[in-house]
């Protein structure tokens, strides 16, 4: 049955036919407004939005088709049912394609009008409910995505803090690598989402060192072969730790795994070569090595000057590093995007 507050607008240029329909609708509990053509109908709709419009096709001034078009555009929540003579059925069907909910043929039969109107309103209700549900769902998904990101960053943060306790060098190094990689990525004009993931990847690229023995991590001077092999497990260890967390940031995850790969295929852990190494990891590799050289990592030996480190990066272009990334790195230094004297953090 129709609700108490059911309202409808009946649009027909023949007063007698309009009256028949209005009576019929009123008997079914509707409050009706009447209009003699499309222009009048639009005026009424502007003052008083209606859930339902029953409209004739042929009318002076604005006809039924134009009224349908404008109603769909301005009042998409209004259900429009077209009224047609039997001869107009083809036009009525094309009105369905334009968004009419249904059509009625003259002369009217009480049961048919009732069935079509009930159906049209039910369809409208479902459409509105569906849209409302969709909107609420999208809102909930967005809230949960934000929450997930917060939780993710909090867990990464706690891992980073745990690593800092073991290896005080790492935090400053990770932030510097994040900044350097970001400057290279921006110089290469990569899209903003990729830059964001490269920044994140830089921050967490060494997280796997949490699994490296402290004595090895902080050993002054050169490492034995076994110690070096042990330290170089960190890309895979980090990848295993972060894989369940970094579903939304696969490029950051690639950085964790592949930042020690080499352009010539002699890197670790997968011995990838050239373009097979994800670009984000090729970028981080340059940033990581440059920072390690300029900040003096225990197992890397003495700290280098900036100019010597730049020369070393250039020397390794095409062997350790992707030449295109090295060019971007040099351009970033040239433009000042990477300060020639990188401030210690
Ligand atoms: Fe590393």
**Ligand 1 centroid to residue 205 C-alpha, Å:** 6
The pTM score is: 0.59
**Ligand 1 centroid to residue 260 C-alpha, Å:** 6
pLDDT computed for residue 258 by the predictor: 98
DSSP, residue by residue, 254-312: HHHHHTT--TTS--SSS---GGGS-HHHHHHHHHHHHHHHHHT-GGG-SPPPHHHHHHH
Report whether pLDDT(336) > 90.
no
CATH numbers and ranges of domains, the chain: 7-137 (3.40.50.2300), 167-335 (1.10.3210.10)
- 343's CB contacts (< 8 A; 6+ apart) are none
**Ligand 1 centroid to residue 43 C-alpha, Å:** 70
**Ligand 1 centroid to residue 170 C-alpha, Å:** 10
Rounded distance between C-alpha atoms, residue 198 and residue 321, angstroms = 17
Q: Which residues surround ligand 1, an ion (CB under 5 A)?
A: 206
**Ligand 1 centroid to residue 292 C-alpha, Å:** 10
Longest dimension (CA), the chain: 102
Question: What is the average pLDDT value for the chain, to the nearest integer?
Answer: 88
Rounded distance between C-alpha atoms, residue 43 and residue 36, angstroms = 11
| CA neighbor of 204 nearest in space, from 169, 152, 156 | 156
- Do residues 220 and 298 make contact, with C-beta atoms less than 8 angstroms apart? yes
**Ligand 1 centroid to residue 248 C-alpha, Å:** 22
Report whether pLDDT(26) > 80.
yes
pLDDT computed for residue 187 by the predictor: 96
Could you tell me the pLDDT band of residue 148, with boundaries at 50, 70 and 90? confident
Rounded distance between C-alpha atoms, residue 259 and residue 273, angstroms = 12
**Ligand 1 centroid to residue 287 C-alpha, Å:** 11
Could you tell me the pLDDT band of residue 300, with boundaries at 50, 70 and 90? low
H-state helical runs in 192-277: 192-204, 214-217, 225-231, 234-242, 250-258
**Ligand 1 centroid to residue 212 C-alpha, Å:** 12
Query: What percentage of the chain reaches a pLDDT higher than 70?
Result: 94
Could you tell me the pLDDT band of residue 6, with boundaries at 50, 70 and 90? confident
**Ligand 1 centroid to residue 180 C-alpha, Å:** 15
E-strand stretches of 114-257 = none
**Ligand 1 centroid to residue 338 C-alpha, Å:** 20
């Amino acid at each position: 049955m129709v609700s108490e507050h059911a309202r409808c607008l009946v649009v027909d240029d023949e007063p007698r036919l309009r009256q028949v329909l209005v009576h019929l609708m009123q008997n079914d509990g509707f409050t009706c407004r009447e209009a003699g053509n499309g222009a009048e109908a639009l005026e009424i709709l502007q003052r008083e939005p209606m859930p339902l419009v029953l409209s004739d096709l042929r009318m002076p001034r604005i006809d039924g088709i134009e009224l349908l078009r404008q109603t769909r555009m301005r009042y998409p929540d209004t259900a429009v049912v077209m009224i047609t003579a039997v001869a107009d059925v083809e036009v009525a069907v094309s009105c369905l394609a334009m968004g009419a909910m249904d059509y009625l043929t003259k002369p009217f039969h009480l049961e048919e009008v009732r069935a079509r109107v009930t159906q049209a309103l039910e369809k409208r209700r479902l459409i509105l409910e569906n849209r409302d549900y969709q909107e609420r769902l999208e809102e909930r998904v967005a809230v949960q995505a934000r929450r997930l990101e917060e939780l993710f960053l909090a867990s990464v943060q706690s891992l980073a803090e745990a690593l800092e306790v073991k290896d005080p060098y790492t935090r400053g190094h990770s932030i510097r690598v994040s900044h350097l990689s970001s400057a290279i990525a921006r110089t290469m004009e990569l899209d903003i989402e990729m830059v964001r993931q490269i920044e994140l990847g830089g921050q967490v690229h060494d997280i796997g060192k949490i699994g490296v023995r402290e004595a090895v991590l902080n050993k002054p001077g050169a490492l034995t072969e076994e110690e070096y092999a042990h330290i170089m497990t960190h890309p895979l260890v980090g990848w295993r730790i972060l894989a369940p967390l970094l579903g939304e940031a696969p490029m950051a995850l690639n950085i964790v795994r592949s930042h020690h790969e080499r352009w010539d295929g002699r890197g670790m852990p997968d011995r990838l070569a050239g373009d097979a190494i994800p670009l984000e990891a090729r970028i981080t590799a340059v940033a990581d090595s440059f920072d390690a050289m300029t900040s003096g990592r225990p197992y890397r030996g003495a700290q280098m000057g900036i100019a010597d480190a730049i020369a070393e990066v250039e020397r390794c272009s095409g062997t350790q590093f992707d030449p295109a990334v090295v060019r971007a790195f040099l351009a970033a230094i040239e433009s000042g995007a990477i300060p020639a004297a990188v401030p210690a953090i």
